[in-house]
Structure 1
Amino acid sequence: MNIDSTKIHKTLAYNRLDCSIPMTSGDSVQRFLRVDAWRGSACLLMIFYHGCYDLTYLNIITFDFYHHPFWLSLRILIVSLFVSIVGVSLFLATLYGVHARAIVKRVVILLSCALLISLVSLILFQERFIFFGILHFITLASILGLLFRTYFRLNIILGTALLIMGITIQHPLFNQPFWQWIGLMTYKPATEDYVPLIPWFGMVLLGIALGHRLYRQGYLYNPPISIWEKRLAKVGQHSLLIYMLHQPLLLGSLLVLKKLHYSIIN
């Protein structure tokens, strides 16, 4: 297998911020397009899920998001995709070492967005506001994951153990508000988005292990990729922006359409 080490090094330099937050706007080096494409797929599934959720929220069409197996399974799939890609990208971003400035910048951006989500959800949902959702989790996982970035077998073992713990272990201690971000609660908290450390950090660790394996096999930096993967990669390259904007755009559009519908029939 012929591997262009210079190209790989440039690619890694661009992916220090998880492929979705570029280091500089003018950087033109090659990206890991397959990772971007996976993230883009997760974004499209998320938009579909939230679009259907908004239809229910506005009483246009009713879907049972809290009990129906399809919606419960779809949410698990979407979160699993996002957080495992965090692990893959974390491995790739730190393959040539930890770049403190890039990581601090990433964490600050993610934390700012997470706090904004909490504030907006507090206004919209009051008691069901988002106190530890997907962005809160990714922020913390991006820091903790640095401790495990060099391991392969250990991450498989720990990742699997955390998944099993999250499914099988519950304790009233973690029902206390201060500890709910960890997981292991005896009930699901009343919040619009909840991605606790356990079991989901297990998916991050498995993602790091997957990054190890895919990198060694040359799968990530050996195109060609299909035209559809390229299109998905374009979406994945702007995942954070899409995450922050898609709900206001969806809700706003549906509200306008709902008002137009009522004005026409009345």
Structure 2
Amino acid sequence: MPTRWPAPAHWNGGTHPRQSGAPYTPPVPDSRPTRRFDRIDALRGAAIAWMTAYHFAFDLDHFRFIREDFHRDPFWTWQRTAIVSLFLFCAGLGQAVAVHQGQGWPRFWRRWAQVAACALLVTLGSWFMFPRSFIYFGVLHGIAVMLVVARVTAPWGRWLWLAGALAIAAPFAARAAHAAWPALEVFNTPLLNWLGWISRKPVTEDYVPLLPWMGVMWWGMAAGRSLLRERAALVQGEIAPVLRPLAWMGRWSLSWYMVHQPVLIGLVMLAAAFR
């Protein structure tokens, strides 16, 4: 999640779904509308609402209405970690649903193109506002890469749990490896630091590298596959009317993500002008 800017298809080889522990579901035509699950949308909407509140507080601090340390205070740093984790876990759940419903590659790539285009817009906008610390691999950039990895690795089945654990543990191993082999400094350069095999964080307004965050998406996908296979009612059930606004926000998460910070910043700037 940015600090200043507010994330299988038909079987084409590899391990067959039957071999990965999941029952085989015949693919449906790619043109067939896929069913949305309100509970997943509401969970994603909760992440959106939390992110919006976080960014509102950040904007108030930026314009000196309040004074908080968003970079070092655990109250804020842990919130950022939790929000990004919830976003990526929901993205993994969504990929599990897409695989379960037989969503094909053409539809996947259409949605992926939207995410990638928004990531480029974030880069351009941040470059104009923060030329020395613009966003080149933030949450949307990370999600764009992770979605492809998640789709390709969907046949791994239960092995996704192990893959996720290894990815989450990777940064700890990276620090030890850098201390032992100075040649690994190359992974700290902008050309490679998006992988996450780093010993220090880059100077940028948002940074969501492949490691460890791919692990969270893998866990979301593994959880989704397990629930759809064994306890589908937990995913497909109805939600309370009070949660429907969150489900609506979750269905429009990308649009909300792109719009909410410009709106919040505009409102705070307006308030600052009349202070």
Q: What range is the shorter-chain TM-score in?
A: 0.7 to 0.9
Provide Cα deviations, 1:4-36, integer angstroms capped at 9, x if missing partner.
xxxxx79x9544xxxxxxxxxxxxxx5200010
CA distance in 2, matches of 1:14, 1:195: 31
TM-score, with normalisation over the residues of structure 1? 0.85
Higher RCO by CA contacts (8 Å cutoff, separation 6 or greater) = 2
Q: Which residue of 2 aligns with 1:84?
A: 89
Residue in structure 2 matched with residue 205 of structure 1 by the alignment: 218
Q: Are 2:240 and 1:226 equivalent residues in the alignment? A: yes
TM-score by structure 2 length? 0.82
Residue 78 of structure 1: how far off its partner (Å):
0.4
Where do 5+ consecutive residues of structure 2 fail to align? 1-27, 179-184
**Equivalent residue for 1:139?**
144
2:8 alignment partner in structure 1 = none
Task: Note closer, same or farther for the CA distance 1:64–1:166 as it changes in structure 2 (3 Å cut).
Answer: same
C-alpha distance in 1 between matches for 2:74 and 2:235: 37
> How far apart are 1:168 and its partner, in Å?
3.7
Deviation by residue 1:89-118 (Cα, 9 ceiling, x = unmatched): 011112243412211111111111000000
RMSD: 1.8
> How far off its partner does 1:126 sit?
1.2
- Partner residue of 2:261? 247
**CA deviation map 1:222-260 (0-9, x unaligned):** 423212332210111110010000000000000001101
Which of 230, 238, 248 is equivalent to 2:252? Answer: 238
% identical equivalent positions: 34
In structure 2, distance between residues paired with 1:179 and 1:101: 29
Matches within 5 A, 1:164-175: 164-170=169-175, 171=178, 172-175=185-188
Name the residue aligned to 1:152. Answer: 157
Amino acid at match of 1:253: L
Structure 1 position 174, deviation (Å): 1.2
Does the aligned pair in 1 maintain the 2:135–2:207 contact within 8 Å?
Answer: yes
How many corresponding residue pairs?
Answer: 238
Q: 1:173-184 maps to which residues of 2 (within 5 A)? A: 173-184=186-197
Matching residue's letter, 1:52:
A
Unaligned runs of 5+ in 1: 1-8, 16-29, 262-266
